[in-house]
Chain A
Amino acid sequence: MAYRTLIVAYGNPLRSDDGFGWRAAELLRRRLSAVETEVACVYQLTPELAAAASGADLVIFIDAACHGQPGQLVCTAVLPHPEPPRFSHQLTPGQLLAICGALYQAEPQAYAISVTGQSFDHGETLTEIVSSALSGCIHIVEELMQRRGTSRMRQVDESVARGSLRRPRRWGLVSCN
C-alpha cells in the first residue's frame, strides 16, 4: 500500500512572505507524485483538515513565522496537543493532530517547516531572502519523505516525546537545516 503524505501549506498569499507555504506548495505539486501526496493550500488550519490528515502516514505543515532571522528555516516535529484553541478557525498543527487522533484514531507522523518572514505587508511576492529559502524547504520536504517510516525518523520522534530535544513553543524541535 502506498505511503501517503499530506502537505499543508498555510498563510495568506496576499501578505508577502506569509505566502511562503503556498509558493512552496506550487513547487512541490510539480515535483511529487499526486498518487502518494496530497497538497493543500489554506489560509488557516481548520478542523476539517483533521479528516484529511487521518488518511495520511506523514503530514508536513509549511508556514511563515514572524520571529527569528529572516529567511531562517526551522523544521519541528509535531505532536498532538489537545489545548483548546483561542480562535475557532485557527488551530495549531498540534491541535489539529489532537483532533485527528480523537476523532479518527489516527496518529500520522507530522512535521512543521517554517521560514522567518521579512515582510508581511500587502503584496503577492516573497522578499528575496525568503524566496531563497524555497529550495531549502523543498529539500527538507523531500528528505522527510525519503526518511519516511525509517528507524531514524522514529528515533527522532521518540526523542521529542521524551523531551530530550529542544521544544520551541509546544512542539518538539528537529533541526533539519
Chain B
Amino acid sequence: MPESRTIVIDPVTRIEGHSKITLHLDEHGNVEDARFHVTQFRGFEKFCEGRPFSEMPSLMARICGICPVSHLIASAKACDALLAVKIPPTAEKLRRIFSIAQVVQSHALSLFHLSSPDLLMGMDADPAESNIFGVLGKNPELARDGIALRKFGQQIIERLGGKRIHPAWVVPGGVSEPLSQQDRDEILKTVPEALAIALRSLEWLKSTTEKFRSEIESFGNFPSLFMGIVKKDGGLTFYDGELRFVDASGEVIADRLDPSRYFEYIGEKAEPWSYLKSTYYLPMGFHDGVYRVGPLARLNVCDCCGTPLADEELAEFRQLQAHAVRSSFYYHQARLVEILYCVERIERLLNDPEILSTHVRALALPNALEGVGVAEAPRGTLFHHYRIDEQGLIRWANLIIATGQNNLAMNRSVLQVAQRYVDGDKLTHGMLNRVEAVIRAYDPCLSCSTHALGQMALTIQLVGADGAVLDEVSRP
C-alpha cells in the first residue's frame, strides 16, 4: 500500500542563517504540504531585559552581521520615543544616508553573491559551479559590479559609523558625530560609478529574467497582501513613514496607519516546528491575512520612488504583472530598483545644505516608559518595541523582523515551487535548487553569521512512513 513520505532539505543553502525545508508527499508521491523551518534560536528579546535602555542600539545591532544598521536605527528610534525628543534635522538626514547605504550593500550581497549563480548558470546547473567562482568565470564584470556596489555601501557606513560592521554611531537622540566635509566629498565621488552599475545591472537582469518564465509563474506567484511604510505623499522611504497595506490587485486596503500601533494591525503566531514567528494582517486573520514585506512589497505599496531614474524603473516594474507584482521572483528586480533609488537619494542628501551641521544630537533623560521604533530594513519593515521602568531599565521588548513577516509567504512559495517541480519518485538537484532559490528570492536573514553556499555538503532523503530511506540525493 502506498505511504505518505517526507523530503527534508537540510540545510537550505545560500541564505543568511540556518534552516531546513520539509516537503510532505501524499501516497501518490505528490507534494501536499511544505514547511520552511528556522532551526536557530536567538532570544534577544529576553536577555536584554534589565539592561539600561541606552545600551539597546548597540546590543540590538549584534542581532545581525548583515543588517546591523537597520537594528541600530529601529532601536535608536524606539529610544528617541523613550526620550520623547525630536532629533536634529541633520541627524535624521545622516541616519537616512546610513540606512540606505546599508540597503545597497545588503541588496548587492543578496543579488550578486547569493542569487546570481542561479540567474547566470540556471537552476539546473552543477552545484559545484553555482558559487562566486562560477560567476566570475561566466561574467566577471557582474562579479566586479557586485563587489563595487557592496564597497560603495560599506565605505559610507564606515565613513559615517567608524566601522563597517556593528558601528555604534547611531545613538538615542541622534548620531554621535557629524559628517565631515572631506567624508562627504569622498562619498560623492563614488556616486557616479554606483549609479552606472545599478543601471547596467538592471539591464542585465531584465534581459536575463525572460529565461525564467516558468520560475516566474511558480516562484511565490500567488495573491497576498503587501505591507510597507510610505511617506505622507505615498513615496518610498526606508526611515520614517506610515504603514500601508495593499491587496493582490494593488488596491490600498489600509493606509496612514500609525506604526507605533502595529499591534492593532499585525498578529503574531508561533508554530511548534520553527523558531521563526509568523505574522499576519490582524483584521483578516491568520489564514487570509498573509502579507509580504521587503523590496517587492515596498514597490507595490508606494506611489512613487521620488528620484528620477528609480521612478522610470518603477513605472516599468509596475507593468510586469497586470495587478500588484505578485511573483516573488521579482524580488530580485525590485532590489535593483531600490539600489538605484538609494544611490540617487544618497547623492541628494549629501548635497543638502544642512548635512554638515554639527548639531546632531538631542540630549534628554527618559520622558516615556514605552517606545516603538520602525524602519524599513533591506528585507522589510522592522519593529522594535521597548518598555522601561523608572530607572530606565528594559522590562520588556518585542521585535518583529522582516523575515518573520514573510514567513507565511515563504512557506506558501516553497509549496508552490515544490508542487510545480518536485517529482516525489525521483529527486534531482534542479528540483532541490529551485525549492531553495525561491527562499533566496526573499533573502531571509536568519541572524546571521554563518552563510552556507551551494557547495556545502547537503543531503535530501525520501523517507517512508516506516523510516526507511526510499531515495537520496547528496552533494559532496
Could you list which residues of chain A lie within 8 angstroms of chain B, going by C-beta atoms?
A: 41-43, 47-48, 50-51, 82-90, 98-99, 102-104
A88 touches B453 (CB 8 A): yes
- List B contacts of A87 (CB < 8 A): 450-453, 456
- List A contacts of B452 (CB < 8 A): 86-88
Contact with A along B112-149 (1 / 0, CB 8 A): 01100000000000001101111011001001101110
Contact with A along B382-397 (1 / 0, CB 8 A): 0000000000000000
Could you list which residues of chain B lie within 8 angstroms of chain A, going by C-beta atoms?
A: 14, 65, 113-114, 128-129, 131-134, 136-137, 140, 143-144, 146-148, 150-151, 154, 163-165, 449-453, 455-456
- List A contacts of B456 (CB < 8 A): 86-87
B453 touches A47 (CB 8 A): no
Chain A nearest CB, measured from B53 CB (Å): 22
B165 touches A47 (CB 8 A): no
Number of A-B contacts (CB under 8 A): 70
Instruction: Please give me the residue from chain B that is nearest to A95 by CB atom.
Output: B133
The contact of A47 among B132, B450, B455, by CB within 8 Å, is B132
Instruction: Please give me the residue from chain A that is nearest to B13 by CB atom.
Output: A88
Assuming the A-B contacts A84-B131, A87-B456, are A103 and B151 also in contact, with contact meaning beta carbons closer than 8 angstroms in the complex? no
A102 touches B136 (CB 8 A): yes
Instruction: Please give me the residue from chain A that is nearest to B455 by CB atom.
Output: A84
Instruction: Please give me the residue from chain A that is nearest to B134 by CB atom.
Output: A84
- List B contacts of A99 (CB < 8 A): 132-133, 136, 143
Q: How far is the CA of A51 from the CA of B143 in the complex (A)?
A: 11
Other than A85-B455, A99-B133, give 9 A-B pairs with Cβ distance below 8 A: A41-B163, A43-B165, A82-B133, A87-B452, A99-B132, A102-B133, A102-B140, A103-B140, A103-B147
- List B contacts of A42 (CB < 8 A): 164-165
- List A contacts of B143 (CB < 8 A): 47, 99, 103
Greatest chain A CB density within 10 A among B14, B128, B451 is at B451
The contact of A88 among B132, B148, B150, B164, by CB within 8 Å, is B132
Q: How far is the CA of A103 from the CA of B146 in the complex (A)?
A: 11
- List A contacts of B150 (CB < 8 A): 47-48
